[in-house]
Amino acid sequence: MVEKYKLYYRCFIVIFWVTMTFGFVADEFIPPLERLRTPVFLLVDLLLLVLGLATMRRVRDIAVTVVFVIIAVVSTLILNHESVKSLLNGSRDFWGLIFVVPLLYFLFTNRHGAEFKRKMDRQLKIWLYVQAVCITWQFVRYGACDHGGGSLGNWNSGLVSMSIYLVSFYLTIPNWDFYNLGRSFAKNKENLILLYPTFLNETKVSFILLLIYIVFLFKVDRRMMMKIAVAIPIGIGVLIGLGALYFSATNQRSDEVLSAKFFNDYLYGDDVNQIVDLAIAVQDGVIEVDPRDWWVVDMPRFAKIALIFPVLQTTPGGIWLGAGLGQYKGQQTGDETKFYLENLWLLQGSKPWFFFVVVELGLLGVLWSIWAAINGIVKGRLKTPAERRMIIFILSVIFIVIFYLEVLRAVQFCIVIFYLSMGMTMNNLLKTPKPHLERNGELGEK
């Protein structure tokens, strides 16, 4: 009989690598696999569901699940009268938030937890190298664009860039000496060099993440302030060099991209009314747009947030409970809902996590999703500077995600953020397991 830990571990590794590499393999090497994308990811979701339920023991994980089910049933079935299929299918977008945490907690607190951490840390290092190879390949073939999604495949540039910064920082910060920066840079040069792919895929959030990354490598005190004063010119030079590389790779002008007008247009739009009129005209068939030019009617992120509230007020769920689950799953595994078809002009294209959740589950769903994320990230008192900086970095990325991109839908991104959090904050438990906590070969809560 296979030991439970080994079975769950192997299933977890399958989930991790399938979700992390299927897209690139299908896009670049075996195009016929693209037809299997939906069934493959459906099987992965079902496997995660089974593992998550089998390992769910803590009261707070059960509470997160129960509250989600209540909000989802009330919004989808009772108020908006969507089908059970929409409820079940749409809930898959939230399974990463719900089921990754109990599965990882089991793997970490099992008596094999230290072994699990060592193996997974090694695989994350391999994963960084894989991204360097894949994104370089995509850059050479397509240039700097949304094709640069690394091993995740096309249209995943934002997800892979955020994951690269998080993984690199996780592997770097435990070995970082704040008082010997030269030695620290030399010791962690691989992790730092492997950030370079994030400048090859036109992901503008990389500049913010790089700034956070660098700031968190410095310890602010009297001695360090002197060193920082010396390092500032060097840092400015490095940023200028990286910026030049980015603008050269993406064929953009720095004076345009860094202007206030650019950020206003990028986040909210220069003329939202004109974009709305164009989007509705395309949706109604009055204007025909080549599918390759879908971005012409892609509503700016903040404009979507501002416009969704009047639209939701026309639904039974309103702004508090939304239009129900399954609004986006109909594109792959079912029929589009009436609400989705009527509001395609607003729902299509890039969207922040806040927008995605408020559409389906309203403001209550947004509050729930933030609670679910914090449940998997914050682990009580943080004892070391490395722990504190890692958790703050993860929380900073979550804050960016809320208003930038709906990557929390992706199981692989949830695995990254929750694993890095547990891997950094559960070291004491792994090093000195307490015999009285063991229960049938596992470690439980106090």
Provide the pLDDT for residue 436: 39
Distance of CA 257 to the CA centre of its chain: 24
Query: Would you give the DSSP letter of residue 337?
Result: P
- Span 99-108, mean pLDDT? 97
What CA–CA distances, in Å, run from 69 to 28, 76, 105, 271, 361?
38, 10, 21, 39, 11
For residues 42 and 266, the model is more confident at 42
Range scoring the smallest mean pLDDT among 58-67, 345-354, 377-386:
377-386
Identify the band that residue 346 occupies on the pLDDT scale cut at 50, 70 and 90: confident
Q: Residue for token digits 């951490």?
A: 117
Amino acid letter for position 89: N
Longest dimension (CA), the chain: 71
pLDDT, tens digit, 9 for 90 and up, residues 150-199: 999 998 999 999 999 999 999 999 999 988 888 999 999 999 999 999 98
Residue 20 has pLDDT above 90, yes or no: yes
Provide the pLDDT for residue 234: 61
pTM (predicted TM-score): 0.84
Region for 444 from its dihedrals, namely left if φ exceeds 0, alpha if ψ lies in -120 to 50, beta otherwise: beta
Range scoring the smallest mean pLDDT among 263-277, 370-384, 430-444:
430-444
Residue 274 has pLDDT above 70, yes or no: no
Rounded-to-integer distance, Cα 445 and Cα 102, Å:
12
CA proximity to 394, closest of 417, 414, 428: 417
Please state, for a pLDDT cut of 70, what percent of the chain lies above it: 76
pLDDT, tens digit, 9 for 90 and up, residues 355-364: 999 999 999 9
Rounded-to-integer distance, Cα 297 and Cα 277, Å:
9
Residue 80 has pLDDT above 70, yes or no: yes
Region for 318 from its dihedrals, namely left if φ exceeds 0, alpha if ψ lies in -120 to 50, beta otherwise: left
Residue 420 has pLDDT above 80, yes or no: yes
Per residue in 283-309, is it b (16+ CB within 10 Å) or e — as a string? Answer: beeeeeeeeeeeeebbbbbbbbbebbe
Per residue in 195-214, is it b (16+ CB within 10 Å) or e — as a string? Answer: bebbbbbbbbbbbebbebbe
CA proximity to 392, closest of 145, 95, 78, 166: 166
For residues 367 and 438, the model is more confident at 367
Please enumerate in sequence order all residues whose Cβ is within 8 A of that of 306, keeping only pairs 6 or more positions apart, or say none: 268, 272
Range scoring the smallest mean pLDDT among 113-127, 238-252, 427-441:
427-441
Please enumerate in sequence order all residues whose Cβ is within 8 A of that of 268, keeping only pairs 6 or more positions apart, or say none: 300, 301, 302, 303, 306
Provide the pLDDT for residue 161: 96
Whole-number mean pLDDT of the chain? 84
Rounded-to-integer distance, Cα 354 and Cα 223, Å:
42
Alpha helices per DSSP H over 74-155: 84-91, 95-109, 113-142
Provide the pLDDT for residue 7: 96
Query: Would you give the DSSP letter of residue 438?
Result: E
Phi, psi of 403, deg, nearest 5: -110, 10
Provide the pLDDT for residue 282: 57
- Span 190-218, mean pLDDT? 90
* DSSP assignments along 339-365, one per residue: HHHHTHHHHSS---HHHHHHHHHHHHH
Residue 432 has pLDDT above 70, yes or no: no
Provide the pLDDT for residue 188: 95
Identify the band that residue 427 occupies on the pLDDT scale cut at 50, 70 and 90: confident
**Vertex 337: Cα angle to 290 and 350 (nearest 5):** 45
Range scoring the smallest mean pLDDT among 1-5, 253-257, 337-341:
253-257
Beta carbons of 429 and 443 less than 8 angstroms apart: yes
